[in-house]
Amino acid sequence: MGYQNETGERIQRECYVETALSFYQFAKRGTDPAKQVKPATARAICVGVTVESQLETMTNSDGYQVKRTGFPVGEIPEIVVGGIAYVKLGSTAGANVPAGTVVMSDADGFAVPYTVPTVSVTKDGAPTTAEVQAILASAITEARVQAGVMLDKGSAGDLVRINVDGDEV
């Protein structure tokens, strides 16, 4: 696709890659949340989306320059944290996902349509205090699991534009 000058806010430059990141992948905070990022996992709270670097090559483990496909461990990544960016739809996203769909991260850090989690009460009648607390905690977290809104329609494997802020444009 080539370098895209996305119209969005970027992550601070003091943040390093903990686990290698691909282009157009959701990222989440790493072991040291202030200084590291890594690929997002299913239903993770995402920091933003990786975008292509202006640098076309990178050094591989043998010391050779190779075509850049992402950000290796220890490098400073390009991550859009607000605004519009491209993201790859995950393999389970399905076909013809419409524009306006709210997305979240799949297990590989790619976009899939957001689904509401199921919460069950273990007995008949009123839920226990612990069950109510679990439902409320889940609701608070779920708002943060929503990683953006698709601006284009697409199918599994496609690159689509999303608004990382969660607004339709």
CA distance 163 to 169: 8
pLDDT at 148: 92
Residue 9 has pLDDT above 90, yes or no: no
Residue 156 has pLDDT above 80, yes or no: yes
pLDDT at 158: 96
Q: Per DSSP, which regions of 11-154 are E strands?
A: 16-17, 21-22, 26-29, 36-39, 48-50, 57-59, 65-67, 70-71, 79-88, 102-105, 111-113, 148-150
Collect all residues with Cβ–Cβ distance below 8 Å to 49 and sequence separation of at least 6. Answer: 24, 25, 26, 27, 79, 80, 85, 86, 87, 147, 148, 162, 164
- Give the chain's domain count: 1
- The verdict on residue 31 lying in a domain is yes
- The verdict on residue 168 lying in a domain is no
- The verdict on residue 159 lying in a domain is yes
- The verdict on residue 1 lying in a domain is no
129: left (phi over 0), alpha (psi -120 to 50) or beta: alpha
Task: Extract the tokens encoding 93.
Answer: 């996203």
CA distance 159 to 166: 17
- The verdict on residue 133 lying in a domain is yes
pLDDT band at 7 (very low <50, low <70, confident <90, very high): low
pLDDT at 6: 53
Model pLDDT for residues 18-70, shown as the tens digit of each residue: 999 999 999 999 999 889 999 999 989 999 999 888 788 877 778 888 888 89
- The verdict on residue 89 lying in a domain is yes
Model pLDDT for residues 71-111, shown as the tens digit of each residue: 999 999 989 988 899 999 999 998 999 999 999 999 999 99
- The verdict on residue 77 lying in a domain is yes
pLDDT at 101: 94
Catalogue the long-range contacts made by 134-141 (C-beta closer than 8 Å, 24 or more residues apart): 141/45
Bridge-based pairing state of the strands 36-39 and 16-17:
parallel
Residue 14 has pLDDT above 90, yes or no: no
- The verdict on residue 14 lying in a domain is yes
User: Of 164, 118, 169, which Cα lies nearest the Cα of 142?
Assistant: 118
Mean pLDDT of all residues in 107-133: 81
Could you list the residue range(s) of the whole structural domain that residue 91 is in? 7-163
